[in-house]
Chains A and B, each alone.
Chain A
């Protein structure tokens, strides 16, 4: 039997939990063989894998809901509550255009589902920046201390390397976890399925490599929104690594 510990959760066995607490309060970043640095390394230096570069979305999941704008009232797969359905059924893209809110379906809870390309780079040692050509959005993923307040389409995103630790002292494995709050209300789908400012977006950004050297960025998404959803909305999507910025085509948000 092995124990899996998630940061911030308490193991069941007290003595064992002391041991693991010591472990995770120490320097939990990868080190060179035999290395024992005194100061914590930056998020960039601690990265367990590299997701920087250009990525193109591979639209094979929910194709008909992503590649074209679904008809009004099509909220297949999303457990909307009555209030959410009421808003979705009242969707009017002309009103969004008139209000200059064409980017409602380009907010963080949906932007990784929008067909397009990503450019990911380290803004600084503690901040990953994700730019999208579709809708020309920019996401800032902050590691460590909080910076900024959010309130826009992309909200405020706090990033961390979530470690899974084996009980036998084996090397931990990690996923890049991003929690986004303080969102400006927007759409989970382009046809007006809403999320509110109370929505919390939790994402994991994992990189996997294929034997033929293709690399994929796998995005695991959970949207929790007590205002409009009966239960969390779970999706996954993926991007394929590009060798260059080929195809990068910044386009403005479109409401329809």
Chain B
């Protein structure tokens, strides 16, 4: 509009356009001061709503139970969906679950797109998208910025960058939370990446999304949506959600799940719509024309169904997830929130709290890169490390204790009454841990320099350090008999140690007092302390023992998984199953493609054995102190 106000510009424009201008040579002639230097693209700005005429049965975003046709699910994806009970969404952490793309375009609500431009250069910085359902806010960066590292936090909207290609806006999205492909239980994993193409035709956008999910799909899942321009401002943009007490007295370790092969509504959708069940069960072949002919042989289809309903035989699948640790011999520093940073690279995550006092460090990694860890901490704080908290005795938590302690200094005991009681007072940082950590390290005869020097027995050890309350909370019989989590209350960050990981099943050390039940209770302790900012996102952030920064959603998902696996094992144990029989049932089959391993220090077999053993012989515990 501004251009048209300058009358002197118009003759120039007219002359310029009167020649054929589509060749690139002419385009260059039109270049003038004020161009953004970016390729021009279609403008998607405005209010939009999904076309109700296509996939109208899915516009409520759910679909029927066991309506999976046309989705290239792998075995894990199908088993996940077949185990999913709609009762699960009554759980506190599931009531306000957000929407991930492309699933969000199934919503019946409004969408608003707009541009954000640099106020001085008018360069297009980002395209913003807001969707009414779940009040999702998405930023699609147009400035060629790189995507964050794999150990950075994920979100419902993900991290998106885009470019114009002809008449299409092509968007690439990573860092998505685990969401739905369809909210009838078909999962889209947190390893999924999504490619999207927005094509505008007047008051209509045709949108093609391609989901690449190595965990739950055998091949990319592509589908189109149609968005229609809303000529009138809809004036209803909110979607209030606050989780409530839907079922009183519901236990925190209750997660509803159907046993495989016993889904009570298995044939409901197929029968209602006269579809062979094998088609309704989905899979890549159901996307292609040949499947239409195959469905005509109903007898053959019925014979094939059984294999789709339970795990196949054979060894557990290994994880298809990418390792978020760069494994490049370097220490990588990620600002988390408030005073907290996460250090990645030395075999286990290290949480570092900085402030006016010396740094407080939760865990010290495997100890192979301790010098680099110390150097990284020095860049964050001029003061030496004052406190080290160990979340357990395991080597990936304590391996760098000796070197970090030696590089640190705790001025709080020098010159006090304590300095006379401890020969090493003030000689390095103070190492804090639950008493059993010290006991086990001493009995293992690890380097004495790395032993905890300040131990506790009660449920809570507290400190006020670097301007905030720090609570060290004992979690009995979780991974071991000496685990702790650390809650930085002002920064609103919890360092969990190995109680929570985004890379593997929990390495429950049964011989050291760990148990599946204690692990679940520890995860629920974390969830008792978290508060999300909006719809299961943000708020309290979590630094896991391994993997990426998270919030309560991922912890709840992990808890749900362990409860489901525990319950499957318990049913089999109650029927008298041996460990080998439990393993043969592949009770982790819907999660193995995400967390499983057949080699390395912690395999799926070892995990199942830990679950089985700790259920058969629960540890005798003194409780939470």
Contact = CB atoms under 8 A, between A and B. Distances in A.
A115 B53 contact: no
Interface in B61-76: 67, 69-71
Interface in A40-69: 48-49, 56-64, 67-68
B10 A236 contact: no
Given A28-B20, A209-B165, A218 B206 contact: yes
Nearest to B68: A63
A189 B352 CA distance: 62
Given A1-B1, A59-B288, A204-B201, A234 B53 contact: yes
B614 interface: no
Contacts of B39: 170-171
A236 B61 CA distance: 18
Contact of B295 (A58, A68, A208): A68
A79 interface: yes
B104 to A, nearest CB: 16
Contacts of A209: 165
B167 A206 contact: yes
B69 A22 contact: no
B592 to A, nearest CB: 25
A76 to B, nearest CB: 5
B54 interface: yes
A113 B540 CA distance: 47
Contacts of B53: 77-79, 233-235
A121 B186 CA distance: 38
A56 B219 CA distance: 15
Contacts of A156: none
Contact of A64 (B167, B207, B273): B273
A33 B67 CA distance: 52
Interface in B1-28: 1-4, 10, 13-14, 16-27
A234 B51 contact: yes
Interface in A5-39: 6, 13, 15-16, 18-20, 22-23, 26-36
A94 B221 CA distance: 37
Contact of B292 (A22, A68, A168): A68
Nearest to A117: B289
A36 B20 contact: yes
Contacts of B167: 164, 173-175, 206
Contact of B197 (A64, A218, A233): A218
A134 interface: yes
Given A61-B55, A218-B197, A218-B224, A174 B17 contact: no
A133 B290 CA distance: 12
B332 interface: no
Interface in A88-123: 115-117
A162 B281 CA distance: 41
Nearest to A35: B23
B166 A77 contact: no
Interface in A149-188: 162, 164, 166-175
A64 B279 CA distance: 9
Contacts of B291: 59, 67, 115
Nearest to B10: A15
Contact of A60 (B71, B226, B290): B71
**Chain A residues touching B, range:** 35 or more
Given A63-B69, A76-B56, A31 B292 contact: no
Nearest to A48: B166
Given A172-B22, A173-B166, A174-B166, A204 B289 contact: no
B195 interface: yes
A208 B208 contact: yes
A121 B387 CA distance: 72
B22 A171 contact: yes
Interface residues of B, number: 76
A57 B289 contact: yes
Contacts of A34: 23, 25
B53 to A, nearest CB: 4
Contacts of B25: 33-35
A177 B101 CA distance: 28
A58 B1 CA distance: 43
B22 A30 contact: yes
Given A19-B17, A22-B17, A30 B206 contact: no
Contact of A216 (B22, B54, B222): B222
B512 interface: no
B33 to A, nearest CB: 12
Given A19-B18, A71-B274, A204-B206, A236 B71 contact: no
B204 interface: yes
A1 B18 contact: no
B608 to A, nearest CB: 35
B17 A23 contact: yes
A61 B224 contact: yes
Given A117-B289, A175-B167, A216 B10 contact: no
Given A13-B4, A115-B289, A236-B206, A23 B21 contact: yes
A82 interface: no
A218 B208 contact: yes
A70 B51 contact: no
A172 B22 CA distance: 7
Nearest to A202: B201
Interface in B266-292: 273-276, 279, 286-292
Nearest to B35: A168
B77 to A, nearest CB: 14
Contacts of B32: 168
A29 B23 CA distance: 8
Given A20-B17, A26-B20, A57-B289, A77 B52 contact: yes
B238 interface: no
B210 interface: yes
Nearest to B28: A33
B142 to A, nearest CB: 15
A23 B10 CA distance: 14
Of the candidates A26, A32, A168, the one having the most CB atoms from chain B within 10 angstroms of its own CB is A168
Nearest to A166: B40
A216 B42 contact: no
A171 B27 contact: yes
B222 to A, nearest CB: 5
Contact of B226 (A74, A134, A206, A234): A234
Contact of B40 (A115, A168, A236): A168
Interface in B194-209: 195, 197, 199-202, 204, 206-208
B55 A62 contact: yes
A95 to B, nearest CB: 20
Interface in B465-499: none
Of the candidates B290, B292, B295, the one having the most CB atoms from chain A within 10 angstroms of its own CB is B292
B115 to A, nearest CB: 10
Contacts of A15: 10, 14
Contact of B286 (A29, A63, A166, A210): A63
Of the candidates A6, A48, A56, A60, the one having the most CB atoms from chain B within 10 angstroms of its own CB is A60
A232 B275 CA distance: 28
A173 B13 CA distance: 19
A77 B279 contact: no
A211 interface: yes
A238 B95 CA distance: 34
Given A33-B24, A34-B25, A238-B222, A175 B201 contact: yes
7 contacts: A26-B19, A64-B67, A70-B273, A162-B201, A171-B22, A175-B201, A214-B210
Given A169-B21, A240-B222, 10 more contacts: A58-B222, A58-B288, A67-B286, A71-B273, A77-B56, A162-B201, A169-B13, A173-B41, A216-B197, A234-B54
Complex A-B, nearest 5 residue pairs according to Cβ-Cβ distance, in ascending order? A169-B30, A63-B70, A170-B40, A31-B23, A173-B167
Interface of B: 1-4, 10, 13-14, 16-27, 30, 32, 35, 39-43, 51-57, 67, 69-71, 165-168, 170, 172, 195, 197, 199-202, 204, 206-208, 210, 220-226, 228, 273-276, 279, 286-292, 295
